[in-house]
Amino acid sequence: MANIDERLARRLQRIARPVVGPAFEVLDRRRRRRQRRRVVGAGILAATVVAGSIGAFAIARATFGDARPEDPMPVDIAPVDPGPSVEDLPGADIGLDFRLCGLQRLAGIDFFGDGTRGIAWTGAPLEEGRRCPSARDVHVVAVDHDGDGSADSFTYLPICTGCRPYEATDLGGDGTAELVVLLQLGSTPEYGIFDVVPEGLPRSAGVVPIFVQPPGARRAGYPSNQPVSLWAGGDEGFSAAIRCEGYPEATELVAAWSVYSVAEAESDPNAVEEFHQTRLRLEEPDASSASFIVLETSSGERPVGEGAPFEQPPRACGVDWAP
Amino acid sequence: MLERPRSKEGDRLLDETTIRELLRTDYARLVNAVSLTAGSIAAAEDAVQEALVRAWTSRDRIESPTAWVAVVAMNLARSAWRRSAAERRARDRLEQPRSPTAADLERLDVERAVGALPRRQREVAVLRYFLQCDTRETATALGVSEGTVKNSLSKARAALAMTLGDEDDLEVIPDGEHR
């Protein structure tokens, strides 16, 4: 008689489903995307290109005008017309060394607290000779700190499902605005927070994702040395909320979420959900570095269905996190 | 900018050949193994692919790539945003409802039995029974002692045998006889 381990192994392996692995190239593309995500400070290169490209600047001005609205307002820019003009205008030029498809814009952002109104965009880089929508599934966030319509810098987004520059708000209490980018649109929107830092060159600035300082709170979704992500809203099995305390002088973000297995909850009346609550503060020791520190975190389990540990306020830190 | 710690000089990094080999030989069973804890094949696929990429780009020393990828994928599958993204994709792939087959019911039994185990026991059981990792590999991948693995496996074995097996399955095998 086979021993129990062999029998259990056979029993588990018997339920295996046929799975076709991805082509190696799929994995390679994913690896390259992952590496690109780490590329920050690309603004130096972008700004150099921009500075030498008067034509691109002119096109960007022609495309976006001299828009300097007083209040940040997301504006959808139709990058292409699906008709004949596609050939003539394949994507939008914002002064980077590539055009962008699916451009989204947020204007009127005071990145440096000096009253200058800047702009942020998201979009998908257009490959040369192609038309929108871009075949590439990478997206970037780009910024123009002085609002002249020409981007100073860009960096890659880790994920984009209906992404756009969402809001600008001062999370660090130093009078400068951090950029909130909506990464995933849906019932559970996910946000990334970006810092815009001066990079030394005339009219240039870098846009970088804000990371979590060690030790972070891995279990609660805030691992150290990773860009911070915030969630709000919820769907079946998942619920999240963000609240803000001490805003704007001594802001602390409290992020909470809970999750359970829907299948388990249906079959087990005693099913539990795990919940996490983390208090974060943005540290900005100087103009060029910012990171979140985890002040406290708590995790646990409780009966299914209690929702997020607290109700989502209409606005927190000046941002409507659950539109 | 914060950077992740680099490995010590001389540590072995996984090269493209190793990744290709893992993809060819272990991908399907890794996905099936992780799906036992992830809740769906779609979520497991997403997590395994991400874990393979992390293994490829890792600066850490990886002794047993299969076990390492499995553990990382199981951890990834637990994260909420990945779960929600994967479920959205899974929902897109949903077909019309159909009557469950015997294989479906068998799978459901096993998933429930494994899913009912505490996290550590579940991970040990998947690594041991599904991926055939030995005690040392399992301990290394999970970052625990071999004693912890044996202890967890012993409890998982008893629970699984009770849930899935017949009377004979309750036969106890001393830990020393395991691989």
**Three-class secondary structure assignment of A222-265:** EECCCECEEECEEECCEEEEEEEECCCCCCEEEEEEEECCHHHH
The confidence score (pLDDT) of residue A8 equals 85
Interface probe, candidates B15, B37, B56, B84, chain A, greatest A C-beta count within 10 A = B84
The closest CB to that of B130, out of A13, A17, A40, belongs to A13
Could you tell me the pTM of the whole model? 0.51
pLDDT over threshold 80, residue A320: yes
**In order of start, what are the domains of chain B with their CATH numbers?**
16-172 (1.10.10.10)
CA angle B4, A217, A302 (to 5 degrees): 150
Average pLDDT score over residue span A10-32: 77
SS3 A76: strand
Shortest Cα distance, chain B CAs vs residue A51, angstroms: 25
Kindly give, in sequence order, each residue whose CB lies less than 8 Å from that of residue A161, ignoring residues fewer than 6 positions away. Answer: A183, A184, A185, A186, B85
Distances (CA, A) of A146 to A71, A137, A142, B7: 15, 29, 13, 41
Contact B66, B48 (CB under 8 A): no
Cα separation of A59 and B131, whole Å? Answer: 57
Task: Tell me which chain A residues have a C-beta less than 8 angstroms from the C-beta of B169.
Answer: 4, 7-8
Q: Alpha-carbon distance A146 to A256, whole Å?
A: 35
pLDDT over threshold 90, residue B18: no
- pLDDT tens digits, A243-263: 999 999 899 999 999 888 777
pLDDT at A33: 67
CA distance B79 to chain A (A): 7
Across A260-285, average pLDDT: 86
- The ipTM, to two decimals, is 0.72
Cα B43-B143-B57 angle, rounded to 5 deg: 55
pLDDT tens, position by position, B127-160 = 998 898 999 999 988 888 999 999 999 999 998 8
Q: Which residues contact A129 (CB under 8 A, 6 or more apart)?
A: none
* Residue A261 contacts B, CB cutoff 8 Å: yes
d(CA A40, CA B126): 38
Computed over every residue of chain A, the mean pLDDT equals 78
B56 in reach of chain A (CB within 8 A): yes
Share of chain A above pLDDT 70, in %: 78
**Residue in the structure block whose two tokens are 């952002």:** A109
User: What's chain B's average pLDDT?
Assistant: 73
What residues contact A49, with CB distance under 8 A and at least 6 apart?
Answer: A56, A95, A96, A97
Residues A60-76, mean pLDDT to the nearest whole number: 38
Cα–Cα distances (Å) from B94 to A88, A123, A234, B91, in that order, read: 40, 30, 21, 5
Q: What is the pLDDT of residues A170-187, one digit of tens each?
A: 999 988 899 999 998 888
- The pLDDT value recorded for residue B14 is 78
Phi, psi (degrees; rounded to nearest 5) at A102? 60, 40
* H or E element that contains A165: strand A164-169
Binary contact (A18, B28; C-beta < 8 A): yes
- List all residues of chain A from 184 to 243 with a beta carbon under 8 Å from chain B: 184, 186, 188, 190, 208, 211, 213-214, 221, 224-225, 229, 231, 235, 237-238, 240
Contact A27 B129 (CB under 8 A): no
Comparing A137 with A215, the larger pLDDT belongs to: A215
pLDDT of residue B153: 93
H or E element: which one contains B98? Answer: none
Structure tokens at B120: 């550590």
Higher pLDDT, B46 or A78: B46
Mutation choice for A interface testing from B37, B48, B50, B53 by most A CBs within 10 A: B53
Torsion of CA A106, A135, B17, A21, to 10 degrees: 100
Reported as half-sphere exposure (CB side, CA atoms, 13 A), residue A190 has a value of: 20
Which of B37, B177, B178, B168 lies closest to B114, judged by CA? B37
Asked whether residue B6 carries a pLDDT value surpassing 70, the answer given is: no
Greater confidence (A20 vs B26) lies with: B26
CB contact under 8 A, B178 and A5: yes
- Span A196-221, mean pLDDT? 80
Is pLDDT of A220 > 70? yes
CB contact under 8 A, B2 and A213: yes
Question: Contact A30/B49, CB-based, under 8 Å?
Answer: yes
A16 touches chain B (CB under 8 A): yes
Domain ranges of chain A: 37-209, 212-318
Residue B109 reports pLDDT greater than 50: yes
Other Cβ atoms within 10 Å of A186 Cβ, number: 14
Enumerate the residues of chain B whose CB falls inside 8 A of the CB of residue A263.
39
Residue A217, token pair as written in the block? 């709170």
Q: Which of A249, A232, A240 is nearest to A317 (CA)?
A: A249
B139-170 burial, b at 16+ Cβ within 10 Å, e below that, comes to: bbbbebeeebbbbbbbbbbebbbeebbeeebe
For A291, the token pair is 């990171």
Is residue A47 predicted with pLDDT exceeding 50? no
